[in-house]
A and B are shown apart, each in its own frame.
Chain A
């Protein structure tokens, strides 16, 4: 029995077709043909053939997304082996790879159709207000590690590129409603059609209303969500040489949240419950030109705006991106080059616990990239060299070179290796802002008791100060990978070693002279006055670029098509991160830790029924939480060609558990994550 390669989880690769060879059965499937690119040059900001990509890449297919029962992009990302996806509460997520995931610093570049969602305020994205209709996602490409030269800046730990479907493939109607123990209602509506003979469009809307968690760490959970989204995409193809794309999305969110901040003279972190109102808007327009079958160019304009309001923080962020990229092949050489410009406008109202000491309200970044791929031995050995160089307002010019080798000793076997350097430019929190953090008691500061309780317990105001002496973090990665792929099996292995320097850490910069008056009063036995004198003191913690880290690890993913209707995927990921810090400094995010993940997926179809399961065993000491095992299980039933239902259980086995408890992290206050069930009904017409 020969089993189609196409059903092999789509191999977590978009498998290449071999020119001058007959078609495999699987590649002759009409749907498979429609997914293949005509161009032999790889499309920019997209991995054309993941099998041939010289980086650790995983492609999450639309089939997996639709069968998984996921209701949001972060839930879908739980299906990516090696990706750290930890839930802080029912709205907030910490997602990264090959490093420590954090709500505010995951050093991961996230894009929708090549449009960056990176905010310069901090090195992460607001997952809770990100709306991408899952049913219109073509695939999600995840690059673990810094293989994202062509993708953009700040992709130190990885790249997540969400690629949505061309609207020509989403003509017709789609209605879906989900309800469950945690989710009151998640409803989607989409309609698409032709625009004369030159294009197509779709419009969609989404509403969501969800409950709070059952149990919090310090406070009763308040992580409810009310969300409304509206979006549009239109594609134009006036002829074979030119195509255009326009898309936009507006999402309004009201999110309940527990959080912490220092708001009064006690100088102590207080816990609060409150609502965050967020409006996220994005527009993107792209023009693509096929100059010849082996040369193409692309111009993309993007606008992105985020407004967030809550009791103590009001923030507005706006960015405009202009990207031009071109690639062509000449004989054995493929050349990719591009130019980019980004303008960001940031408005962050000073609050009781956050103030900016420089008037940085906009940032500009511009630069270019060039990459050459030379086919040294036809169909066997490729050498890729390139660099991305750009200028930013905070640290000036940055250069990010990489060199890669791809070797195919035999058909279906591929070995790749890479050496690359990437930088992470400082965030504004590190460069510009002063953040009032949980205060330091005299006892903690001195390390010994003064013998006077009132003085020992006095909490000194403590500030975390960003400053303009912060450098870019500098990462050098060495990677080695191997892939094998046949009709029944595929293996994807990658190992890495990353040395990083100039890592932002925290160092005390407190002026000791300010304590002399209090000390004098204390020595004179005037304890009450000494305590009073302490109220005019402060402890200053500066962000300094003196840390070093070493990260080692590997990912292995094995896909096995057991029988025609049953396929599985097994994965194991290991990451060990070690900090090397000068004495007197502590890390900003993370600490010495080891992350292990065991991963299993099963996909079984029987006529109109399908069972899809993802089991993850998370073992890590990076998140101050117990290890846990979760199972997400979905039964899909196609009732008629139009109607289908799904019944899902999520976070099964784990019970009520904490996934992320780095409560030393300022602001964040997680909740226990619950098991949940949901039921959905869908119509496609």
Chain B
């Protein structure tokens, strides 16, 4: 009986170990994704010139991601403009301040609710299965532990953005 109890304790401990996620691991994934976002910004063309802005603004409704991006992309510039990471709430006035938005899986439910918001001229990137169907432009996915992405050129075009062939070549191209 004692042995059984010990076994159960061990099994529970292992389960606890497995479901507990250390922040280190999450940080690494978002740090890499921040690197991809920086590249998407570099290799995209906005129909409305960015010159009127003083910054290139990467927004996210996920505070955790914004903190990681602040570290990862410290002192970077995009098209000659300082890159600023901005934590926003998903409403029309906030979104207008952004050149690019990253919707994390924790904020995807909120994003769906804001689907009808106009995000013309804003590059919209996510990581959930239905993100492209929710008028997203680029969606991250994982393949054998590495980050890959799919792009919906039609969605991009209708929102006034074109992506360089250098990035398109690496992407899985999908319909909107």
Contact = CB atoms under 8 A, between A and B. Distances in A.
A22 B71 contact: yes
A168 B150 contact: no
A565 B35 CA distance: 25
B31 A19 contact: yes
B22 A237 contact: no
Contact of A37 (B26, B146, B174): B146
B71 A33 contact: no
A43 interface: yes
B74 A166 contact: no
A363 to B, nearest CB: 31
B147 interface: yes
Contacts of A38: 28-29, 32, 142, 145-147
B93 interface: no
A40 B23 CA distance: 11
Interface residues of B, number: 41
Given A19-B28, A194-B172, A35 B35 contact: no
Contacts, number: 121
Interface in B158-176: 166-167, 170, 172, 174
Contacts of A33: 32, 35-36, 39, 147
Contact of A30 (B21, B75, B142, B170): B170
A153 B36 CA distance: 39
A21 interface: yes
Interface string B111-139: 00000000000000001010000000000
A329 B21 CA distance: 8
B36 A30 contact: yes
A237 B142 contact: yes
Contacts of B76: 28
A566 B35 CA distance: 27
A38 B129 CA distance: 18
Nearest to B174: A197
Nearest to A240: B142
Nearest to A172: B169
A28 B24 CA distance: 19
Nearest to A43: B145
Contact of B21 (A20, A245, A294): A294
Contacts of B62: none
B48 interface: no
B22 A330 contact: yes
Nearest to B142: A240
Nearest to A236: B143
A294 B145 contact: no
Contacts of A20: 27, 71
B157 interface: no
A288 B146 CA distance: 12
B20 to A, nearest CB: 7
B145 A295 contact: no
B143 A39 contact: no
Contacts of A19: 24, 27-28, 31
A452 interface: no
Contact of A243 (B18, B144, B174): B144
B7 interface: no
Contacts of A169: 170
Contacts of A27: 35
A563 interface: no
B64 to A, nearest CB: 13
Given A22-B75, A28-B38, A30-B170, A36 B25 contact: no
Interface string A13-31: 0000101111100011010
Interface string A225-249: 0000000000101011001010000
B1 interface: no
A479 to B, nearest CB: 28
Contacts of A28: 35, 38-39, 76
A296 interface: yes
A21 B27 CA distance: 11
A292 interface: yes
A376 interface: no
Interface in A169-186: 169
Contact of B24 (A30, A239, A288, A294): A294
B144 to A, nearest CB: 5
B2 interface: no
A393 B173 CA distance: 52
B173 to A, nearest CB: 8
A43 B144 CA distance: 9
B73 interface: yes
A330 B17 contact: yes
Contacts of A37: 145-146
Contacts of B20: 292, 330
Contacts of A331: 22
B148 A168 contact: yes
B58 to A, nearest CB: 14
A287 to B, nearest CB: 11
Nearest to A242: B142
A38 B143 CA distance: 10
B24 A168 contact: no
Given A19-B28, A292-B18, A292-B19, A237 B35 contact: no
Contact of A168 (B36, B129, B143, B174): B143
Nearest to A194: B172
Contact of B144 (A197, A288, A295, A328): A288
Given A168-B143, A329-B25, A30 B166 contact: yes
Interface in A35-73: 35-40, 43
Interface string A271-296: 00000000000000000101111111
A34 interface: yes
Contacts of A43: 145
Given A30-B39, A292-B18, A197 B150 contact: yes
Given A34-B147, A38-B28, A38-B145, A21 B71 contact: yes
Contact of B145 (A21, A296, A328): A296
A197 B144 CA distance: 16
B22 A22 contact: no
B143 A40 contact: no
Contacts of B17: 295, 328, 330
A290 B143 CA distance: 10
Contacts of A296: 145
Nearest to A29: B39
Contacts of A21: 71
Contact of B72 (A22, A35, A294): A22
A330 B29 CA distance: 17
Interface in A631-663: none
Residue among B25, B39, B141 facing the most chain A CB atoms (10 A cut-off): B25
B79 to A, nearest CB: 15
Contacts of B19: 292
Contacts of B25: 39-40, 292-294, 329
B146 A34 contact: yes
A36 B142 CA distance: 11
Interface of B: 17-22, 24-29, 31-32, 35-36, 38-39, 43, 71-76, 127, 129, 141-148, 150, 166-167, 170, 172, 174
The 8 closest A-B pairs by CB, nearest first: A293-B25, A294-B25, A22-B74, A240-B142, A237-B143, A330-B17, A30-B39, A37-B145
28 contacts: A17-B32, A19-B24, A19-B31, A20-B71, A23-B73, A28-B38, A28-B76, A30-B166, A33-B32, A33-B39, A34-B147, A34-B148, A37-B145, A38-B146, A40-B22, A40-B28, A166-B144, A168-B143, A168-B172, A197-B150, A235-B144, A243-B142, A290-B145, A293-B25, A294-B22, A294-B24, A296-B145, A330-B20
Given A22-B73, A168-B143, A292-B19, 12 more contacts: A17-B32, A19-B27, A19-B28, A20-B27, A27-B35, A30-B43, A33-B36, A38-B28, A166-B146, A239-B129, A240-B141, A243-B142
